[in-house]
Amino acid sequence: MKIRILGNSGLEVSEIGLGCMGMNFGYGVIADKELSIKLIRKAVELGVTFFDTAEVYGPFINEELVGEALEPFKGQIAIATKFGFNIGGEGLDSHPERIRKVAEASLKRLKIDCIDLFYQHRVDPDVPIEDVAGTVKELIKEGKVRHFGLSEAGVKTIRRAHAVCPLTALQSEYSLWWREPEDEILPALQELGIGFVAFSPLGKGFLTGKMNEATTFDSKDFRSTVPRLNPQNLKANLVFVDLLKAVAQRKSATPAQIAIAWLLAQHPWIVPIPGTTKIERLVENLGSSSVELTEEELLEIKSAAAKIKPVGDRYSGGSAKLIDR
């Protein structure tokens, strides 16, 4: 597994990380704990050094799972977690006192002395981003956090936060199926020397080629609320999968591997974090690192994708464009 550095931060991580959310949050099913621990440790064995979780996943149980699974590998891996939701209440909460409480609790659940990367999970309109960045800066000085990140923030927010406490990474959705970050976000990150962590690099499973218009989701699976994944829109969007399948066939790869390899080829400071609960899918996803797309193939994908417009919003209630305050 190759190593990448997130922006100018010096934080070295495997070029493909592991998103751990789906092991017990979001998909309506809680995976067997022992199998999940086995999968996380298999990822370490295969070279993964970057693991993503958050206090809200569960809540709390995902951090506990990640902490237990990775305890034997302290000093060898980097764990990213997040603050920003009012757990037990409603909405967001990034007030300084809340950030501090989350940091202390996450350290205990993760069984670590310092959080490698601490993200604000969503921009809180009620708390100036300068206050958020200032609080994390203090936690860094205290040795409780190493690096600061934002998730799903827009360019103005990124610049304001970065001016107070240098950002190591922005985490947002990015895939061949959702390319909004290319418009303003990626150029700004390149200018500022900030890394990009791509969640949902497989389009919530769609770009694996395992879904079609007959696919349905359990009511507890958050994908059942995603307009882009309803039967009618799934059928219309299969043109993306057809593109990936065509390239995959020539490369002796899978559509998922082409989707991740495409992301890796965009910039050397982009790190995708696909999630899975199955070891065979883990192995498949990590195999993307050995898929080299030529300039001609990248141009082919770019040209074909430019002619395709995704059908349906990526979240219920609208596409949830990156917040820019």
Three state DSSP letters for the chain: CCEEECCCCCCEEECCCEECHHHCCCECCCCCHHHHHHHHHHHHHCCCCEEECCCCCCCCHHHHHHHHHHHHHCCCCEEEEEECECCCCCCECCCHHHHHHHHHHHHHHHCCCCEEEEEECCCCCCCCHHHHHHHHHHHHHCCCEEEEEEECECHHHHHHHHHHCCEEEEEEECECCECHHHCCHHHHHHHHCCEEEEECCCHHHHHHCCCCCCCCCCCCEHHHHCHHHCHHHHHHHHHHHHHHHHHHHHHCCCHHHHHHHHHHHHCCCEEECCECCCHHHHHHHHHHHHCCCCHHHHHHHHHHHHCCCCCCCCECCECCCCECC
In a domain, 178, yes or no: yes
| Per-residue confidence (pLDDT) for residue 222, from 0 to 100 | 95
pTM of the model as a whole: 0.97
Whether 164 is covered by a domain: the verdict is yes
Q: Is 57 a catalytic residue?
A: yes
Residue 324 forms part of a structural domain: no
Q: Is residue 244 part of a domain?
A: no
| Cα–Cα distance measured from residue 20 to residue 3, given in angstroms and rounded to the nearest whole number | 20
CATH number at residue 174: 3.20.20.100
Catalytic residue among 57, 119, 174, 315: 57
Name the token pair of 131: 């206050």
In a domain, 218, yes or no: no
Domain count, the chain: 1
Expressed as residue numbers, the domain containing 96 is 3-203+266-291
286, part of any domain: yes
Query: Could you tell me if residue 16 is inside a domain?
Result: yes
**pLDDT, tens digit only, all 325 positions of the chain:** 999 999 999 999 999 999 999 999 999 999 999 999 999 999 999 999 999 999 999 999 999 999 999 999 999 999 999 999 999 999 999 999 999 999 999 999 999 999 999 999 999 999 999 999 999 999 999 999 999 999 999 999 999 999 999 999 999 999 999 999 999 999 999 999 999 999 999 999 999 999 999 999 999 999 999 999 999 999 999 999 999 999 999 999 999 999 999 999 999 999 999 999 999 999 999 999 999 999 999 999 999 999 999 999 999 876 555 666 5
Q: Is residue 210 included in any domain, yes or no?
A: no
